[in-house]
Amino acid sequence: MTNFIKTSLIALIGLIGASSGFTIHDPESFFVDNALLLEENNGFTPFSDHEDGNLTVPQIIAKYGYPVEVHNVTTADGYILQLHRIPYGRNCGPAENKKVIFVQHGLLCDSSNWVMNGANKSLAFRLADACYDVWLGNARGNTYSKRHVTLDPHLDKEAYWDFSYHEMGIYDLPANFDYMMELTGTDGLYYVGHSMGTTMFWICMAEVPQYNSKIKLMNALAPVAHTEHMISPIRLIAPFSTQIEWLLKMFGLHEFLPSNDFLELISQQICDENSPIQPICANFLFILCGFNPDQLDTSLLPVLLGHLPAGASVRTVVHYAQGVPSGEFRQYDFGTEKNMEKYGQPTPPDYDLTKITAPIALYWGENDWMGAKADTLRIAELLPNIQRMFRIQDELFNHLDFLVAKQIQELINNPQQSTLLLLGLLGLVALASSKSLQNYNPLADNEDAKLSVPELIVKYGYPVEVHNITTADGYILTVHRIPYGKKCGPGEGKRVIFLQHGLLGDSANWIIAGPEKSLGYNLADECYDVWMGNYRGNTYSKRHVALDPVANKEAFWSFSWNELGTYDLPAAFDYVLENTGTDGLYYVGHSMGTTGFWVCMSERPEYNSKIKLMNAYAPVSYTEHMLSPIALIAPFSGQVEELMPTILGHVPAGSSVRNLVHYAQGVNSGLFRKYDHGRAGNLEAYGQETPPEYDISKITAPVALWWGENDWLGVKSDVYRLAEQLPNIQLKYRINHDKYNHLDFLWAKDNVDLINKQTIEFMKNF
């Protein structure tokens, strides 16, 4: 690594540490040793799962021999979410009465999180092989859910991207739950959420508490609600979240890290395992989610970056940042004036986690910079129905490890212990010696990175369905469905599960790890009817009935995860429930996939009864202690909504800038509340000067919180804070890996054992 790069990174790490109140005594120890990475690369075999980075989630599922279905669910606010379903796996053929599980990705992710780790390690495949009916969710705005019934994410971007994880919880999750339950006929769902996938769940159950009764178990991986102790760079924007969102809007930027084919190609090549500069890719992931080089499967990076970031609204990121200074898990803070207008009070209302009565299992990593330990413990204290609190047995287990850890099978995916995966964010490492250039092939085969989710599912031999769901506010969400896996053939009665990705993710999050490791495939093979959601604005859900994301970009992208919870999830739930005939869904949310759920259940409490179990992976609600880079923008969250896409450029699946800003706002306020539009905007939107907090106590659905000790987004203290408020915690599970981070929930090498198996086994109780 050049001295300049290392010096800059050390300075950044120090800044993050200072802003979050902790000291890093040896910053240089954070960096991955490049020589070690190169030595590991020498064992690379030509045939690997790199092609998965070029495949869609359905293609990945099909590639590994699993059945796949793609379903589109329209939320009450018009967003069309795409769910990916693996109806059965290799151990269960098509049959009725399978447990239905919903797996929800986190911030900037999609359903690929759950299938990109191969057939043996990916949670989706493991669940399918365990005879679950696996549904992988895609939050509004990500690669697979960037559509709307009337809005176009480009032409109507302000309106389209006007959401944060709040809408994901009150719209996306309810819609997905309803859709899966109706289609499968199940009376309850299992849920796995990672990072924002848990945030969405908290909101859904707190705001729409009637869905609590529909959740058999919520498995929260790297749970995120409160972000007060977040270490991730998101923390740095917390003090400025309101200004950053405003500044970005001035430039007409509403989507945060959208999908971009060119950058996907470039990132895949420079991050190939034979690339001399691959360590830079690894450290970029680490700086956001926590450092854990031992669990990073470098051969998976090209696949990972072929699908991520999957996009999110700027408001979603800002919403997380708002939780850092406030220390609360509450609705989006629009500012005093607009808060008064929207909420009838100067500050956003808190989400009442005590309303979350669904049984919950929390899985967390000690080194999670997003789902900080203190925040996770705070969640655990608030959730009333915690069934399990599981710390991943790896001291460095971080936010990303829940998805891609090498030992994901042992640490979290093991069906005997019941866990799930999810994805989170990204980070930076060292440069290789120029002597290694001779071994670098820029045209390395990364087929899966070029395939869509449906193409990936088909590629791996799974059936796939693509469903389009229109939300109440006009967004058209694409849902990918794997109706059955290799162990269970077509048939009624399967358990229906909805998987919801996190920030910048999409449904690919749940299958990108391949049929062995991806949660989407794992669930299908466990005889689940798997639906993978795509939030509005991501690669698969960038449509609207009236708005174009380019031509109407300000309107289209005017959303954060608040809209994901209030519109996207409800629409997806309704669609899935109606199409499957089930009376309840299992849900897996990662990162923003949990944020949207919290919003959904608290704002639309009627959906609580439709959740059999919400599995919150790397749950995010409060972001006060967030360590992720999102915390870095918290002080500028208002301006960040408009500025971040310009600063960071475009990266795979897409989301509204407001999604990120919404998270950043939580860093400032320390509350889990609605989007802060500023005093005037808040008065207009809420009728009060500050955004109203989400009432987490309304989330009565059973919830399982799965968190990583090293999660920078779903920080332990914020997760615990969430757990304290959720009324129906069934499980608080710390991933058994100290370095497990926010992204590990999706791609950790050992996720099958770390969380997938545990999640699947735990859901058998519901």
Q: What is the pLDDT of residue 383?
A: 92
**Using an 8 Å Cβ cutoff, are 189 and 676 in contact?**
no
Calpha distance 621→330 (Å, rounded):
8
Top mean-pLDDT range of 111-115, 621-625, 629-633: 111-115
Residue 195 appears among annotated catalytic residues: yes
Q: Which residue do the tokens 């990583």 mark?
A: 708
How far apart CA 568 and CA 542 sit, in angstroms, is 12
The count of other CB atoms within 10 Å of the CB of residue 14 is: 13
Classify residue 550 by burial, with Cβ atoms within 10 Å: 0-12, 13-18, 19+. middle
Reported as a pLDDT band with limits 50, 70 and 90, residue 339 is very high
In three-state form (DSSP H/G/I as H, E/B as E, the rest C), the secondary structure along 19-81 is HHCCCCCCHHHHCCCHHHHHHHHCCCCCCCHHHECCCCHHHHHCCCCCCCEEEEEEECECEEE
How far is Cα of residue 304 from the mean position of the Cα atoms in its chain? 14
SS3 702: strand
Say how far apart CA 576 and CA 597 lie, in whole Å.
Answer: 15
Q: The tokens of 460 are what?
A: 């791996």
Express each pLDDT in 119-149 by its tens digit. Answer: 888 889 988 988 889 999 999 988 899 899 9
Highest mean pLDDT among 82-96, 202-216, 309-323, 392-406: 202-216
> Average pLDDT for residues 652-657, to the nearest whole number?
57
Type of residue at 499: L
- Give Cα 376 to chain centroid, integer Å: 16
Contact 328/663 with Cβ under 8 angstroms? no
Closest CA to 608 of 722, 728, 528, 471: 728
Q: Which residue has the higher pLDDT, 25 or 763?
A: 763
Q: Show Cβ contacts of residue 397 under 8 Å, excluding neighbours closer than 6 positions.
A: 292, 295, 365, 366, 367, 368, 405, 411, 708, 709, 710, 735, 736, 737, 738, 739, 740, 741, 744, 748, 754
Average pLDDT over residues 509-523: 89
- Residues 438-457, mean pLDDT to the nearest whole number: 60
Check if 154 is active-site: no
Is residue 677 within 8 Å of residue 332, measured between CB atoms?
yes
CA distance 203 to 689: 21
Mean pLDDT, to the nearest integer, of 726-730? 95
Q: Give the mean model confidence (pLDDT) for residues 63-81.
A: 94
Place of tokens 């499967």: 297
The predicted model scores a pTM of 0.49
- pLDDT (0 to 100) of residue 342: 94
Give the Cα separation of 358 and 369 in Å (integer): 26
Please compute the mean of the pLDDT values over residues 742-764 and round it to a whole number.
88
Grade residue 5 by pLDDT with cuts at 50, 70 and 90.
Answer: very low
C-alpha atoms less than 13 angstroms from C-alpha of 40 in its C-beta half-sphere:
20
pLDDT, position 119: 87
**Backbone dihedral angles phi then psi of residue 513, each to the nearest 5 degrees:** -80, 0
User: Does residue 266 surpass a pLDDT of 60?
Assistant: no
**Across 297-301, 384-388, 603-607, 698-702, least confident range:** 297-301
Give pLDDT tens digits for 375-397: 999 989 999 998 888 888 788 88
Residue 678 has pLDDT above 90, yes or no: no
Residue 744: the pLDDT is 83
CA separation for the pair 639, 660 (Å, rounded):
11
Q: DSSP readout, 401-456?
A: HHHHETTHIIIII-TTTEE-------B---PPPGGGGGG--TT---TBBTS-HHHH
- Residue 436: predicted pLDDT: 25
Task: Show the tokens assigned to 512.
Answer: 């990108």
Convert the pLDDT of each residue in 287-334 to its tens digit: 455 455 566 666 666 666 666 566 677 788 888 888 888 899 999 988
**Residues 592, 563, 531, 217, Cα dihedral to 10°:** 60
pLDDT of 548 strictly over 70? yes
Q: Give the closest residue to 24 by CA, choosing from 8, 7, 12, 32.
A: 12
User: 20, 112, 164, 195: which one is catalytic?
Assistant: 195
Tally Cβ neighbours within 10 Å of residue 443.
7
Domains, the chain, ordered by start: 3-763 (3.40.50.1820)
Q: Indicate if the pLDDT at residue 7 is higher than 90.
A: no
Is residue 543's pLDDT more than 50? Answer: yes
Q: What are the C-alpha distances in Å from 682 to residues 203, 339, 598, 641?
A: 19, 3, 21, 16
SS (H, E, C) 725-742: HCCCEEEEEECCCCEEEE
Across all residues in the chain, what is the average pLDDT? 78
Q: How far apart are CA 136 and CA 119, in angstroms?
A: 15
Closest C-alpha to 465, from 449, 453, 477, 451: 453
pLDDT confidence tier of residue 444, bands split at 50, 70 and 90? very low
User: Which of 230-239, 273-282, 707-716 is predicted with the least confidence, judged by mean pLDDT?
Assistant: 273-282
Lowest mean pLDDT among 10-14, 100-104, 230-234, 411-415: 10-14
Q: Residue 474's pLDDT is what?
A: 96
Q: Which of 176-190, 279-293, 632-646 has the lowest mean pLDDT?
A: 632-646
User: Looking at residues 640-665, what average pLDDT do you find?
Assistant: 54
Q: What is the pLDDT of residue 484?
A: 93
State the catalytic residue, choosing from 399, 467, 625, 677.
399
- Report how far residue 313's alpha carbon sits from residue 458's, in angstroms, rounded to the nearest whole number: 29
User: For residue 558, is pLDDT > 50?
Assistant: yes
First to last CA, the chain: 50
Instruction: Provide, rounded to the nearest whole percent, the portion of the chain with pLDDT above 90.
Output: 42
The per-residue pLDDT for 531 is: 96
Asked if pLDDT for residue 175 goes beyond 50, the answer is yes
Q: What is residue 564's DSSP assignment? A: I
Per-residue model confidence (pLDDT) at position 369: 82
According to the model, what pLDDT value does residue 626 have?
76
Taking the C-alpha atoms of residue 408 and residue 733, their distance in angstroms, rounded to an integer, is 14
